[in-house]
Amino acid sequence: MTKETAYAVEVDRLTKRYGDLPAVDDISFTVSKGEVFAFLGPNGAGKTTTVEIIETIRPPTSGKVNLLGMDVTKKKHDIVHRIGVLPQGFSSFDRITVRETLQYYARLFSVKTDIDGLIELVNLGDKTKEQYKNLSGGLKQRLGIAIALVNDPEVVFLDEPTTGLDPRARHEIWEVLLGLKKKGKTVFLTTHYMEEAELLADTVAIISKGKVIAMGTPGELIESNANYLALTLKPVDEKVFEIVRKMGFGPVLDNHKNIKVRVEHTYDVQKILNAIKDAGALYLGLDVRKPNLEEVFLKLTGEALREDPDEMEAE
C-alpha cells in the first residue's frame, strides 16, 4: 500500500555489493518533494548504482528504498508510471525521429502527452523530423530529458545529463533543468560537475567510495567545510612566492605558476598585498573568491571530482 509521505525518496541503510566489492555501502538519505537533489561524486563513487536502485533498474543487496512511499523492490509497476528517467549514457532508436520517439514513449505509458509542449521545453522545435542518429550529443540529451517527462512524472531522475557535452551544450541543458525547477518537479540529479550542483540543487549529497560523506545546501556545505577565501596571484617576479611563504600562509604554485593562497579573512588579503608592495615586488593580476563545492570535495575526500585534466581545461 502507498503511504503518504513528505519525501519523494527515502533511502535507509542501502548497500549494493558486486561480489565482495561494495559499490554502495550502508547509505541513508531523504529527498523532499519539490526539491532538486544533487548526488555529487567522481566516477565510480556509487552515484549511478544508487540512482538505478531507486529507479527500480537494479535490486539492492540490503537496505530499504521507498519512492513516493512505495518499496522499490515490490512496486515497480506502480513506480514506473510516476517517475521519469534519463539514464546514464542515454540512447534511443537510431532511425526514429524526435517526434516519433516521443510519441513512442507516450504510447508505452498509455498517456496523452503534449508532445509539442515537450519539444518546446527542450528547445528541439527545428529538429522534430530529424532521426535520432543524426542528432548531436547535446540534442540527444535534450530529447532524453523530454522522454523522461512524457508521463508528467512526479520525480525526475537525471543521471549525469551533461557528461561529455561541450560547455555550450551543457549550459543549454542547464536552461532546461532550471525550467523543470520552476515547474516544481522533484529532480534527482547525479553529476560530477560541481557548478551544475551549485547552480541547480537545493540539496547536495557528496558521495565517495560508496558512502555519503556530506549533505546539505551548497551554501551550508561550503560554510561548514571550506570557510576561507581563495586568493590567486599572477606574479611578475619570484620574490612574491617567498614573501607570502614567509608570512606563514602556505602558498602553492599551480601549473601556470600562479600562486594560490587560502586565507581566513579579507584583511589577510590586504596584509599580503601590502607586504608585496612594501617589498617592491610586482604582480600582474589577482583573484579573490569564496571556495566552491570542488574545494569542499577536495577537503572532504582528498581527491578531485574529475580525473580528466583536459575536461577541466576545456571549461
Partner 1 sequence: MNLRIISANLVVKLMGFYREKTTMFFTFAFPIILILVFGTIFMSQDSMEYRLCVQDLDRTNASAQSIKTLGLNGKFKITSIDPAINAAQYVRDNRVNLVLVIPKGYESSLMQRMMLKDFNASVTITYIYDPSSSSVITKMQILNSVLAGINQGMSGKPPFIRSVEKSILTKKYRFIEFFVPGIIAMSVMTLSLFGTVDSDTELRQKGVIRKLSTTPITRTDWILSNILYHFILAVISTIAMLLVSYAVFDVSLHIDAWLLAFILLDVFAFVGTGMILTRFVKEAQSAAAAANAISYPMMFLSGSFFPIELMPGFLQKIARTLPLYYVNEGLRASMVFEDNMAALRSSAIIGVYAAVVFILGIMATKWEEGK
> Which stretches of the chain bind partner 1, using CB under 8 A?
52, 55-59, 77, 80-81, 83, 85, 87-96, 100, 104-105, 107-110, 131, 147
* Residues paired with residue 211 on neighbouring β-strands, in sequence order: 208
Toward partner 1, which CB reaches closer, 62 or 266? 62
Toward partner 1, which CB reaches closer, 37 or 90? 90
Half-sphere exposure of 48 (CA within 13 A, CB side): 13
Minimum distance from CB of 192 to partner 1 (Å)?
A: 18
Minimum distance from CB of 293 to partner 1 (Å)?
A: 28
Minimum distance from CB of 152 to partner 1 (Å)?
A: 14
Helix (H) or strand (E) holding 118: helix 115-121
Toward partner 1, which CB reaches closer, 67 or 293? 67
**Phi/psi at 191 (nearest 5 deg)?**
-160, 160
Minimum distance from CB of 57 to partner 1 (Å)?
A: 5
Residue 126 carries which DSSP code?
A: G
How remote is the C-alpha of 313 from its chain's centroid?
Answer: 18
Question: Can you list the positions of beta strands (E) in 33-173?
Answer: 36-40, 62-67, 70-71, 83-86, 155-159
Minimum distance from CB of 212 to partner 1 (Å)?
A: 21
Toward partner 1, which CB reaches closer, 41 or 60? 60
Tell me whether strands 62-67 and 7-18 are parallel, antiparallel or unpaired.
antiparallel
Toward partner 1, which CB reaches closer, 37 or 297? 37
Toward partner 1, which CB reaches closer, 42 or 87? 87
Minimum distance from CB of 129 to partner 1 (Å)?
A: 12
User: Hunting for cell 537545493 — which residue is that?
Assistant: 202
**In angstroms, rounded to a whole number, what is the distance separating the alpha carbons of residues 33 and 78?**
18
How remote is the C-alpha of 159 from its chain's centroid?
Answer: 9
- Compute how many other C-beta atoms are within 10 angstroms of the C-beta atom of residue 224: 11
**In angstroms, rounded to a whole number, what is the distance separating the alpha carbons of residues 23 and 20?**
9
